[in-house]
Amino acid sequence: MTDYTHDSDREVIMDPNPKIAQKTPFVVDEKAGKYAWCSCGKTENQPYCDGSHKADGLCRPMTIELEADKKVAWCGCKHTKNQPFCDGSHKDLG
């Protein structure tokens, strides 16, 4: 059972060569509500989208809505296969 939803009409489009923001997740105690996770790595407001992806148009953020307050491990390396959450992929980046 998931405790979040995302707009399936607006699938995340990953940057083919995302900037690695950091090789650890951003672990944050989040409040219930909507979030836009940066998938390109270029935002100045990690781990959230600040619109920087619009400069090259290769990707867009993933928007989700947390149904309750929750500790979230947002992917920081942008290589996760479980967007927007850390899946440990940063360990394979060398």
Residues interacting with ligand FES, by CB under 6 A?
A: 38-40, 42-43, 49-53, 59-61
For ligand FES, which is the closer residue by CB, 58 or 66? 58
Dihedral angle, C-alpha 84, 90, 50, 35, nearest 10 °: 20
Residue 1 C-beta: closest distance to ligand FES, Å: 27
Residue 50 C-beta: closest distance to ligand FES, Å: 5
Residue 44, judged by CB atoms within 10 A of its CB (0-12, 13-18, 19+), counts as: exposed
For ligand FES, which is the closer residue by CB, 46 or 89? 46
Strand partners, 71: 29
